[in-house]
Structure 1
Amino acid sequence: MKEHLQARLAVEPKLINPKASANAKRLMAYLCSIYGTRTLTGQQFGVVSTPEMDVIRLATGKYPAVGGFDFMNDSPSRVERGSVPTDTPLAIDWWRNGGIVTFCWHWNAPKDLIDEPPDNGWHRGFYTTATTFDIAGAMNDETSEDHALLMRDIDAIASQLKRLRDEGIPVLWRPLHEASGGWFWWGAKGPEPCVKLWKIMYDRLTNRHGLNNLIWVWNGQHRDWYPGDDYVDIIGEDIYPPERTYVSNVERFRQALGYTAANKLIALSENGPLPDPDKMVGEGAPWLWNCTWYGGFICAQDASGAWDVGEQYTEREMLLKYYGHPITLTRDELPDLTVFPIPDDTEQEHRAANS
């Protein structure tokens, strides 16, 4: 098992986009260089308030290496109802301060929002229960209004991704996440329309919008939803064990290995409680990064309103252990990713021939 795992951890730093930007290539090269031996600490920024990073720094003395962001409030159906996008400038600042950027997109359905508060208000329009938007119908008719609205929304997010591109920021881009769960509208009608939308999004963002700064993180969580090796750079798994349950999640790591015969990087793209790093090492679950979800998963306010470590999901002792562990990396330990060496094609071909 160990020999097999070691073989699967040998990932060539080659991106699916042949026109990938230099900084995207640099980030991929760095990720491949640490994969299997080190894990990047990560944390999602909050949507309404963003105390998470300061809470972690005050508790551990360090910032996480990976900052998680969300284009949720950039969805046109939210903007037209008054939401204020915030995460693009936050991500630019994070990169300028030496961090790695990952973005997901809680994509509010472009139309057909049920809008029945509190559980199915318009602000929950990414949930299947809060919209009647039909992804299958939209994918089956490229002349339909629904299809055109999906393209409009993708183009709106492209404008934000271009701001990041123009800053030289490579983005670990994780759209259409958790599709196989069915709780988001993009997964409500099974694999076929979702996979089709993934491929259309890849083509549109890459070839129409020239977003060569994206590293594509697929997070479908079931092999039937896998769009193919030519459309995936990294595989992500989102895992939420019970409160204060510190496991390696090795079963899910092995599940992710089974989505494809190709060697792909595998990350813990969302988590509730932190995994126990000792168990990760001992059980063979070398997640490339983790990204703890925001709010109560990491912090809480005291009686005075000040933010501190919230111990409902991860106790302070485990937080300190994780951020101080020999296998984890924090932001201060990252190299300068604007100058990290890029292996040339000749070197990659030589390594592949001798592997």
Structure 2
Amino acid sequence: MAKANTSRFEVAPELINPRASEGAKRLMRYLCSIYGKRMLTGQQIGVVSTPEFEMIHRVTGKYPAVGGFDFMNYSPSRVERGAECRDTDLAIDWWNRGGIVTFCWHWNAPKDLIDLPPDRTWGSGFYTKATTFDVQRAMSDQDSEEYRLLIRDIDAISDQLKRLQDEGVPVLWRPLHEASGGWFWWGAKGPEPCIALWKLMYERMTHVHGLNNLIWVWNGQHKDWYPGDAYVDIIGEDIYPPAQDYGSQAERFRMAESYTAARKIIALTENGVVPDPDRMLADDCPWAWNCTWYGSFVFTGEGDERVYSEEYTDAEQLVKTYAHPFTVTLDELPNLKD
């Protein structure tokens, strides 16, 4: 097996929060110890039904090392419209099975949802097209209703993160993802208000709520949106290549490395197709983990008729990836609790 150039991937296991929990420090030490040498397999679960983990196991005989979850339906503007969420409970269960937890947040805009079917409904309220909420106005006026609602929402999600902290769960925390694309409201007004919002979230979650179980994964996907080394633990890229394109995505890996002169772990925080481990090694771009998106990227059909979908990653390739000596599956993880 080819080996990555380890000198480039020697990252100090230090977190930006000086009061980080022992669990967060332990997870970061582990990530740094394998970075450049092995990649954690990962899988996002669906928002409503969650067959992804079992579907992966059915095909490969193994479970992913990293479970991906979403705080979307804990957003107050969704809760007040009847949305329910149990991802916090599912994440605690996953941690207790020995897995690693990562969370994103499809943050429904706090107000000003357009709510026009079919694709601008309140259920799509994290998209720029489905809200007139102005993040620039919110961040430029701390006396505004918009700013107060941002604080309300951050506090609501902090309550969920506190539940995880109380259960000893460290979280690879990936908020405000894909901001530079502009398709989410937090990125609709350019880098400045989004960076300000990132820093506000960090300061409030860390210093007001005392959340020390978080490893901050920045996923802005453009150097102009980078909030600075003091606010980022890990850099993530989300990549959706054409179906069955098993390339290493080396160009995006190099781009992520260029965002800062500091050495940061680089992860494939969302993917459609699972990249080929041999190509990653050959191209010297050993993503720290991958996290395949849910639904049609994994299965097709309904209920008991669900079967693995080979549209994006065929079964043979998936089996190869999960059995490869470069990748880590759930059964190979060390005990990260103590």
| Map of 2:79 onto structure 1 | 79
Q: Could you report, residue by residue, the CA deviation over 1:104-128 in whole angstroms, capped at 9, with x for unpaired residues?
A: 0000000000000111000000000
| Map of 1:70 onto structure 2 | 70
What amino acid is the match of 2:156? A
| Map of 2:35 onto structure 1 | 35
Say which SS state the counterpart of residue 296 (structure 2) adopts.
Answer: helix
Q: Could you report, residue by residue, the CA deviation over 1:227-266 in whole angstroms, capped at 9, with x for unpaired residues?
A: 0000000000000001111110000000000000000000
| Map of 2:313 onto structure 1 | 314
1:336 maps to 2:327: no
Question: 2: distance between equivalents of 1:39 and 1:308?
Answer: 26
Say which SS state the counterpart of residue 215 (structure 1) adopts.
Answer: strand
Q: Could you report, residue by residue, the CA deviation over 1:291-350 in whole angstroms, capped at 9, with x for unpaired residues?
A: 000000011227x842221111111111101101110000000000012xxxxxxxxxxx
Structure 2 matches for 1:267-278, cutoff 5 A? 267-278=267-278
**Runs of 5+ consecutive residues of structure 2 not aligned to the other structure:** none
TM-score, normalised via structure 2 length: 0.98
Question: 2: distance between equivalents of 1:322 and 1:329?
Answer: 9
Q: Could you report, residue by residue, the CA deviation over 1:150-183 in whole angstroms, capped at 9, with x for unpaired residues?
A: 0000000000000000000000000000000000
Shift of 1:3: 12
What amino acid is the match of 1:315? D
2:274–2:292: 8 Å Cα contact kept in structure 1? yes
Structure 2 matches for 1:130-279, cutoff 5 A? 130-279=130-279
| Map of 1:44 onto structure 2 | 44
What amino acid is the match of 1:300? T
Aligned residues: 337
What amino acid is the match of 2:255? Q
Question: 2: distance between equivalents of 1:308 and 1:65?
Answer: 22
Say which SS state the counterpart of residue 43 (structure 2) adopts.
Answer: strand
Question: 1: distance between equivalents of 2:305 and 2:285?
Answer: 36
Q: Could you report, residue by residue, the CA deviation over 1:50-108 in whole angstroms, capped at 9, with x for unpaired residues?
A: 00000111111110000000000000000000100120000000000000000000000
Change in 2 beyond 3 A, CA 1:129/1:109: same
Question: 1: distance between equivalents of 2:146 and 2:8?
Answer: 41
Change in 2 beyond 3 A, CA 1:3/1:243: closer
Say which SS state the counterpart of residue 132 (structure 1) adopts.
Answer: coil
Identity percentage over the alignment? 68
| Map of 1:121 onto structure 2 | 121
Larger deviation: 122-131 or 7-16? Answer: 7-16
Shift of 1:285: 1.0
Say which SS state the counterpart of residue 216 (structure 1) adopts.
Answer: strand
Question: 2: distance between equivalents of 1:162 and 1:306?
Answer: 38
What amino acid is the match of 1:66? V
2:5–2:36: 8 Å Cα contact kept in structure 1? no
Question: 1: distance between equivalents of 2:186 and 2:327?
Answer: 34
Structure 1 stretches of at least 4 aligned residues deviating more than 6 Å after TM superposition: none
Question: 2: distance between equivalents of 1:190 and 1:281?
Answer: 35
Say which SS state the counterpart of residue 195 (structure 2) adopts.
Answer: helix
Shift of 1:4: 11
Change in 2 beyond 3 A, CA 1:192/1:9: same
| Map of 1:353 onto structure 2 | none
| Map of 1:24 onto structure 2 | 24
Question: 1: distance between equivalents of 2:3 and 2:93?
Answer: 41
Q: Could you report, residue by residue, the CA deviation over 1:178-229 in whole angstroms, capped at 9, with x for unpaired residues?
A: 0000000000000000000000000000000000000000000000000000
Q: Could you report, residue by residue, the CA deviation over 1:20-47 in whole angstroms, capped at 9, with x for unpaired residues?
A: 0000000000000000000000000111
1:324 maps to 2:323: yes
Say which SS state the counterpart of residue 117 (structure 2) adopts.
Answer: coil
1:15 maps to 2:40: no
2:3–2:37: 8 Å Cα contact kept in structure 1? no
Question: 2: distance between equivalents of 1:310 and 1:86?
Answer: 26
Change in 2 beyond 3 A, CA 1:133/1:311: same
Shift of 1:48: 1.1
Shift of 1:5: 5.5
Say which SS state the counterpart of residue 129 (structure 2) adopts.
Answer: helix
TM-score, normalised via structure 1 length: 0.93
What amino acid is the match of 2:244? R
2:229–2:262: 8 Å Cα contact kept in structure 1? yes
